[in-house]
Amino acid sequence: MGHFKGLSLFDVEAKGPLDLVTAADRDVERFICDQLSLAFPEDGVFGEEGSTIKSKSGRVWVIDPIDGTFNFVRGSDGWGISIGLLEQGVPTFGVVNTPARRELFAGGQGHPPSLNGNALAALRPFNRGCAAVGLGIHPKVPTEEGLDLLRQVTSDLKIAFRVTGSSVISLIDIAKGSVDGYIGRGIPSWDILGMLPCLHQLGIQTTINWQAEGLATELDFVCGTPEIIEMAKALD
């Protein structure tokens, strides 16, 4: 938040078109890695900004220090810090902090999904008449592929879509009931692993096979209610 309140005081670098990194990203990742190494010295780490520690326990913490960096540098509150735990290739626990919104989500196996320590409400029943999904299309995805996905969602599935500019914020929208799912194209694992275990506890499914994909894969996937997963089978 110190970085966020002093946005004009630090440099912003471009990793690619519309793909930014700041001193805040690096500082946050370094802090998280240091604390995880102290608390869980046998565990591995896989971070967006290059942090890599080999696991001796079969557990790996997957870190996105700021998901939604573009929103961050523009002064929007639509960004979050994502920490997910992969055990023997399976997502089992995650925490997402959105400091500008003062929200802390947590959940996973043996840990009921919560927001700021309070149990998250069950998701409302699916209503086809007002269905909506979040969309995340990485800048590396060819423009025509992204446009085709938009066409399929609006014309073929005939449902509404929302774009937040942050995968983790879009997944939070599922937990809050604002949308029924999320369709990602070219999305890194660190963008989503913090929130997925919490969503799984709410009955949300994904099409990701982590054993087959691996952490370094740019993911094309659907995440949502069983009805959204079924509808999305029609997508290319």
The beta strands (E) that lie in the chain are given as: 12-16, 19-22, 44-47, 52-53, 59-67, 80-87, 90-98, 103-108, 111-115, 118-119, 132-137, 160-162, 181-187, 205-206, 219-224
Rounded distance between C-alpha atoms, residue 176 and residue 170, angstroms: 10
43 annotated as a binding-site residue: no
144 annotated as a binding-site residue: no
Alpha helices by DSSP H, 86-162: 143-151
Q: Which amino acid is at 70?
A: F
Rounded distance between C-alpha atoms, residue 85 and residue 94, angstroms: 6
* Exposure string over 101-125, b if 16+ CB within 10 A, otherwise e: eebbbbbbeeeebbbeeeebeebee
66 annotated as a binding-site residue: yes
42 annotated as a binding-site residue: no
191 annotated as a binding-site residue: yes
Binding residues for Mg(2+): 48, 64, 66-67, 191
Binding residues: 48, 64, 66-67, 191
